[in-house]
Structure 1
């Protein structure tokens, strides 16, 4: 079962990216959970909230590094246009994927397609949220909590986090659906 589940996970041909993807997903889930227990006033304290807040800050800074590594690896493997063809107003692959979905089939990953577009937007969004959180931390430490810039950065960090949460759950649900459908197709082919 363990081996079959491992084989069902995406990016079988790229073990580095698969592990990086799992680590980033686990850190994002931890960030979503522990964000409910963080307090900016706890940064200088000695409580459980202080530990949770610092865990959130340190893992958030780690996500900046891991997100940048992920984006760099993605670009080195497939290039910018694979993920961001829509920036050149090239929607052919998205249209093709939608037609495939309309026929009740999952489209294959392709340059400029739905999967590539969603992956590119997800990693850029992750980096935006993490970088804004890191900037908030830097401004908070240099100018204090009453700084207008710190307040604005924290607002944007929280606001954009909403989209990361939606992306995380939707991407995870689609990934699980994909794993089950792939398993179903393999099972059906073996009968």
Structure 2
């Protein structure tokens, strides 16, 4: 995660001169070499990490569609589109409590073999392996001053687009899961602290009686 974050930060500042050399301007020079050298490290890390994940979980866990198994993926998509919360319910509670109720009622699929989360992880491994491999071949060909290096760089940049989408999408879903769990714990405490009849929609600042 740290390695890929560095790559994303440095990428906009990468610059080459018309003759193919790295720009001599300070921040361009640092960003370009940092991106290339860090990319070489990431290639090794990605290969090791991918091998470790596949060894522990197996190909079927991450790529069930390759084995003709879609049941868990379909169930997870159905879960995502389930809506339990009614708009009328939100009008009955104060504004402070509404975000917790919305987050609590979200239907997020749990991480499981052959599920949507596992499939997303598997696709992420493929994208990062392809991206770092293309970066490696560009670096090697660039050192040899080969014209094909710029074609490889173009392919590298194309693959970087789905990688950026995956980076923010996968990270965003992870953060959403954390907020969902926090909201469930918060609303559970509200229900435990509230006295008398309760629907779980009382203010999170209810005093204990």
TM over 0.5: yes
1:98-177 alignment runs, 5 A limit = 98-104=77-83, 105-144=107-146, 147=147, 149-177=148-176
8 Å CA contact 1:135, 1:153 repeated in 2: yes
8 Å CA contact 2:7, 2:39 repeated in 1: yes
The structure richer in helix per residue is 1
Please, what TM-score do these two structures have when normalized by structure 2?
A: 0.73
Please report the RMSD computed on the Cα atoms of aligned residues, expressed in angstroms.
Answer: 1.7
The C-alpha deviation readout for 1:2-23, integer Å capped at 9, x for no partner, is: xxxxxxxxxxxxxxxxxxxxxx
The reply to whether residue 69 of structure 1 matches residue 48 of structure 2 is: yes
Q: 1:187: how far off?
A: 2.0
8 Å CA contact 1:63, 1:127 repeated in 2: no
1:34-113 alignment runs, 5 A limit = 34-41=10-17, 42-43=21-22, 45=24, 47-104=26-83, 105-113=107-115
8 Å CA contact 2:13, 2:27 repeated in 1: no
Q: 1:45: how far off?
A: 4.4
Q: Which has the higher contact order (CA 8 A, sep 6+)?
A: 2
- Give unpaired runs (5+ residues) of structure 2: 84-106, 191-209
The C-alpha deviation readout for 1:105-139, integer Å capped at 9, x for no partner, is: 21111211110000110121011111101100101
Q: 1:71: how far off?
A: 1.0
- Give unpaired runs (5+ residues) of structure 1: 1-24
Whole-Å separation in 2 of the counterparts to 1:34 and 1:102: 37
Aligned residue number for residue 11 of structure 1: none
Q: 1:161: how far off?
A: 0.3
Q: Choose 1 or 2 for highest CA Rg.
A: 2
Please, what TM-score do these two structures have when normalized by structure 1?
A: 0.79
Which shifted more, 95-104 or 179-188? 95-104
